[in-house]
Amino acid sequence: MSLRHAILVALLERPSSGLDLARRFDRSIGYFWSATHQSIYRELARLEGDCLVEALPQPNSRGQRKLYEVLPAGRSALVAWVGEYEAPERSRDALLVRLRAAAVVGPGPLLKQMRLHREAHAERHAEYLEIARRDFEDPDREASAQVRHLILRAGVGLEEYWMTWLSEAIELLSDVDPGDPPAP
Amino acid sequence: MSLRHAILVALLERPSSGLDLARRFDRSIGYFWSATHQSIYRELARLEGDCLVEALPQPNSRGQRKLYEVLPAGRSALVAWVGEYEAPERSRDALLVRLRAAAVVGPGPLLKQMRLHREAHAERHAEYLEIARRDFEDPDREASAQVRHLILRAGVGLEEYWMTWLSEAIELLSDVDPGDPPAP
DNA sequence: ATTTACATGTAAGGGGTTACATGATTTG
DNA sequence: CAAATCATGTAACCCCTTACATGTAAAT
């Protein structure tokens, strides 16, 4: 149920249309909850059906921009959800499954994949740093900006962590398997 | 499709029944791909339907232990999958959504939740260290043990990362909001 | 004999992804 | 007018979760 509440937060921060939300999820919200426009539209329809958000009464046909804003019931639902405790989920990482598989069936082209992963994390890292530079340059004054900065730093640190671990892993795998996998 | 291949890896390491797999996913495999016994049984049925694994021909009724092992086609499918590149997924973290929500609607009992999360990560951290102590005490000789140790260290480091970040976050939130959320 | 633990499943529903469809607006 | 772009949606599918159902074996 996190997408629903991520949308409520985003709409509280600024009333938006579905595509606006999709763009904001690509930018600043996406580093802890990603979403495609399809899932956003579906969730917006549900939120409207549950009377938690309201579409401003402008458009009357398809292809027209529809602005949504949060109703009081939506704000209450969000407050209630924030109060619910949810245990942290176990991480799921296909690359680590591949790595464990490689320990059994041979590494194949896995080293190359790990270098690509490291590049991908480096790109995200740079992206986050750019956001930090643009949006949080001055020592944060408002509390809400401090919190958003804190969340961004979580993303920065995670990307750094994976870059470090991947470098270690690549080094170890290069030693263990300098060439091609052994023939069966 | 990762569950399917995680099961293939597990069965290659050691032929197992569904419940065996569930237990092994709780223990050593679960720190990078968790699974319930229901999803494991379903995937085993599919794997058998696709002729990638085979049930040893002992049992003929419900409630009887069924041992599976990987067929050559299963091994090939796993090798092929290891070679496929999959970009790292964006992380999804409900706690960070809650945190961003708290910046808008007030923190409520979020500080307590973050302390609980930190405890949960500390528990997992201890659990992983215990596995490391038990299974990888001596300097690893075989390559496959080195790789499994490397994967475990990824989990250890991740838990440490979250403990560190949560401590920073808790400290900041305690300063920003020493008492209860402001009344509406 | 009943309970407990072990073991394998079924059913319903939620949430996400991919591919596709359709209407409006702008641009060459 | 045609094409590209913006914007909202539909449909099918996949995977996972939760709750429940059923059968066997061991313990008391």
- Express each pLDDT in A8-37 by its tens digit: 999 999 999 999 999 999 988 888 999 999
Task: Report the percentage of chain B scoring pLDDT > 90.
Answer: 76
Nearest in space to A87 (alpha carbons), one of B155, B123, B178: B123
Whether chain B has a CB inside 8 Å of the CB on A125: the answer is no
- Report the nearest residue to nucleotide C7, CA vs C1': B63
What distance in Å separates the CA atoms of residue B4 and residue B88, rounded to the nearest whole number?
A: 18
Kindly list the protein residues whose beta carbon lies within 7 Å of any strand C atom.
A 1-4, 34-36, 38-39, 43, 61-64; B 17-20, 37-38, 41-42, 44-45, 62-66
Which long-range CB contacts under 8 A does B177-184 form with residues at least 24 apart? B177/A143, B177/B107, B177/B111, B181/B106, B181/B107, B181/B108, B182/B106
Range with top average pLDDT, A141-145, B57-61, B92-96: B92-96
- Is-above-0.75 flag for pTM? yes
Which tokens hold the place of B48? 């058998």
Which residues of B are less than 8 Å from A127 in CB distance? none
Which tokens hold the place of A100? 């464990």
pLDDT category at A140 given cuts 50, 70, 90 is low
- Number of A to B CB contacts under 8 A, please give it: 198
